Amino acid sequence: KVATPAGLEAMVLKRINIKEGDFLFLEWPKLKEEILLTSDRTALFKSSAETASIVTVLASLILQVNKIKSAMDDESKRTPVQPEYDIVVSVLNTRPDMMDVKWDVKLAAEMYIGPFLDKISLMSNYTLKTQWRYEAHFEFPMQQIIDDSPIGRHYAMAENVFPHMITAIEKKLGNGISNNPVIHLIIYIPSCHISPLRVYKSNGEKASNEKIESFISPNWGSVIIYNPPVNLCAKYNEDQKKITFDIISKDVMQIILFHIGKLLDIHSDHIVSGNHGITITDIEQIGPRVWEYDAFLRRATVNYITTVTRTLQSLIQLLADIKYILINDDVGEAINQAHENIVKAKEFLAKNELLKASEFARMAYVSSEKAFFDASLLEQLYFPDEQKYAVYIPLFLPIMVPVVLSLAMIKKYYLNR
């Protein structure tokens, strides 16, 4: 006898094979919620649930129709998922002379971020890196606020300071040599002089009541503000002796995993207009919800197909408009591969074979980018044959003048003999 939604889901999934791209609705009269969306590829609804609510779950959360339409829009400039990413976790100890911060960031990244990335590696490969940065203090606008905490005050930082803070942080990170796009995950530890540091909205209210505050900068990364323990800072203010404390991996990594999901556009915005009686279960595993990742694969596949189609059309238009451009065998092969793979991706997507569709779409994207940005095409585009004369004649002219004069002298010598 089934007593819980989780029990019903487990029993059904043992009997029915649900693959990537599939989704299962289960009617259960005993359900307390109107609709319960689980972390797997299932949703439960009670008998009295409205059809409109079920349609909302399917269209807004599972299929994410509006996002797919946006990806297919001719005006869309959305950057496709990249085949390679560098994920860099940086810990900034602003005052190592004041704070001895202990944390095995490499181990924490391997334990939490590594398994998460393994579960989302179908579309991209990820290189995980960690680093500590010391003496990484910088200035930004803040205001002291008196409160009733043991330290008697805290500092307020406005949300509009974030861009300035990121610019300052970038200068402290060092320059890694990589052609891959980088996602920065920053753990910023303010000194006791400006701690605890809190984020405030423009209306003067606190942005969050969470113990650890953070913010995300799309296409760049995120910053977590990890304040030292208040009691230790109070002690430091009394005796000016160096304090020692540990960073709690679980507290930080829960936030980081959420940030990665948002930055890669895997985690959905679960705010459904009017709510419609929809309840979504909390994530209990390291990794996104299964239906979230399916939706991400579907969107990324459509985005790849759209981008590759536009790239190939641009190449065709370029070759039609500029007659002198020649395509070598490598570029021709890349174009053929892109076309063949995009056709297969469309076929598999139409059959709801999500894994195969995403795989071929990804390969098509790589081939199309290789063809479009091939050095031989760029060379011909910027330096066509007729322009090469204009480029190189000034270089050879000083050398050619003595040669021409010498030939004239030789001719005159033979004529006078």
The predicted pLDDT at position 284 comes to: 79
On whether the CB atoms of residues 35 and 54 are closer than 8 A, the answer is: yes
Rounded to two decimals, what is the model's pTM? 0.83
Q: How far apart are CA 261 and CA 121, in angstroms?
A: 12
Return the structure tokens found at 78. 């959305």
Would you report the helix, strand and coil content of the chain in percent, each value rounded to 5?
50, 20, 35
Give 17-25 contacts, CB < 8 A, sequence gap 24+: 18/42, 19/354, 20/294, 20/297, 20/354, 20/355, 21/294, 21/297, 21/298, 21/352, 21/353, 21/354, 22/352, 23/58, 23/62, 23/291, 23/294, 25/54
Taking the C-alpha atoms of residue 215 and residue 163, their distance in angstroms, rounded to an integer, is 11
Strands (E) located in 191-332:
197-200, 213-217, 221-225, 243-246, 278-280
Asked if residue 71 lies in contact with residue 306, where contact means CB atoms within 8 angstroms, the answer is yes
What is the model's pLDDT at position 382? Answer: 56
* Residue 22 to residue 11: CA distance in whole angstroms: 17
Best CA proximity match to 86, nearest among 248, 264, 211: 264
- d(CA 30, CA 49) in angstroms, rounded, equals 12
Domain boundaries, the chain: 5-75+270-280, 84-263, 290-382, 386-417
Give pLDDT tens digits for 34-46: 999 999 999 999 9
DSSP structure class, residue 221: E
- Annotate 137-164 with three-state secondary structure: CCCCCCEEEECCCCCCEEEEEEHHHHHH
Q: What is the pLDDT of residue 228?
A: 95
Is residue 187 a contact partner of residue 212, using CB atoms and an 8 Å limit? no
Asked if 43 and 276 touch (Cβ cutoff 8 Å), the reply is no
Residues 169 and 125: beta-carbon distance below 8 Å:
no
What is d(CA 88, CA 39) in angstroms, rounded to the nearest whole number? 28
Low-confidence ranges of the chain (pLDDT < 50): 273, 385-393
Residue 320's Cβ-count burial label (10 Å; 0-12, 13-18, 19+) is exposed
Of 273, 268, 314, which Cα lies nearest the Cα of 288? 268
- Tell me if 297 sits within 8 A of 354, measured CB to CB: yes
pLDDT (tens digit, 9 = 90+) per residue, 386-397?
444 444 445 555
- Please state, in angstroms and rounded to a whole number, the distance separating the CA atoms of residues 172 and 227: 19
Q: What letter represents residue 70's amino acid?
A: S
Query: What is the signed CA dihedral for 57, 63, 65, 71, rounded to 10 degrees?
Result: 150
